[in-house]
């Protein structure tokens, strides 16, 4: 089975806009206005919306195209080779973030960390409904999680969720001519160990 995956964050933002307009996120109430790229605090967030009950929403999009059977640094894969070899092709874990950093005591993406911390602050201080939406541009995964490779970010996402920030995922299915379609909004999310 072929799995087509888009790696472009801007495409995920455009699809997310359509998902919001068509009320596909998570039984969200309808929006009467959606504005792209709105500045709050010290960050520019992907969407600012007002729903039909006049509640304000800030929605930040993160694209999570990567997935594997274990969520560990690549140098540790060999320890799990027996497990990995027994996995079904659809048993992957979708995760965010991943990347290189010089110091393992720093976040992989300082910008992503700043966004989740500011969403939490805005929700607490201004009572605005804040959502961190992970767009997963693939269907061969069994769940999503903030990556174990970045414990700083993982803890920040869990803390924000405990303080009222919505953490949501949507999956997009791609075809062989590059068309992406809404696939699911109910993939399990693992925030804690």
Specify whether the CB–CB gap between 68 and 92 falls below 8 A.
Answer: yes
What span, in angstroms and rounded, lies between the C-alpha atoms of 96 and 182? 20
C-beta of residue 174 within 8 angstroms of C-beta of residue 140? no
162 contacts 119 by C-beta, under 8 angstroms: no
pLDDT in tens, 64-83: 999 999 998 888 888 988 99
Does 96 score more than 90 pLDDT?
Answer: yes
**24, 182 contact by CB (below 8 A):** yes
- CA–CA dist 128, 149 (Å, integer): 30
- What pLDDT shows up at residue 99? 87
Mean pLDDT of 130-144: 96
The predicted-structure confidence for 141-187, as pLDDT tens digits, reads as follows 999 999 999 999 999 999 999 999 999 999 999 988 888 888 999 99
pLDDT at 150: 95
């Amino acid at each position: 089975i072929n799995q087509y995956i888009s790696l472009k964050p801007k495409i995920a933002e455009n699809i997310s806009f359509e998902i919001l307009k068509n009320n596909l996120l998570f039984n969200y109430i309808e929006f009467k206005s959606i504005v792209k790229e709105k500045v709050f605090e010290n960050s520019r967030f992907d969407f600012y919306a007002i729903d039909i009950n006049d509640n304000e929403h800030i929605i930040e999009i993160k694209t999570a195209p990567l997935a594997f059977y274990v969520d560990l640094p690549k140098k540790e894969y060999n320890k799990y080779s027996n497990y990995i070899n027994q996995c079904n092709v659809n048993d992957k874990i979708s995760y965010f973030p991943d990347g290189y950093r010089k110091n393992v005591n720093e976040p992989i993406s300082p910008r992503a960390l700043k966004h989740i911390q500011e969403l939490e602050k805005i929700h607490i201080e201004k009572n605005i409904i804040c959502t961190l939406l992970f767009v997963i541009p693939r269907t061969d995964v069994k769940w999503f999680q903030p990556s174990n490779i970045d414990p700083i970010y993982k803890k920040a996402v869990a803390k924000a969720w405990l303080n009222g920030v919505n953490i949501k995922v949507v999956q997009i299915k791609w075809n062989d001519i590059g068309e992406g379609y809404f696939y699911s909004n109910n993939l399990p999310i693992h925030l804690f160990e």
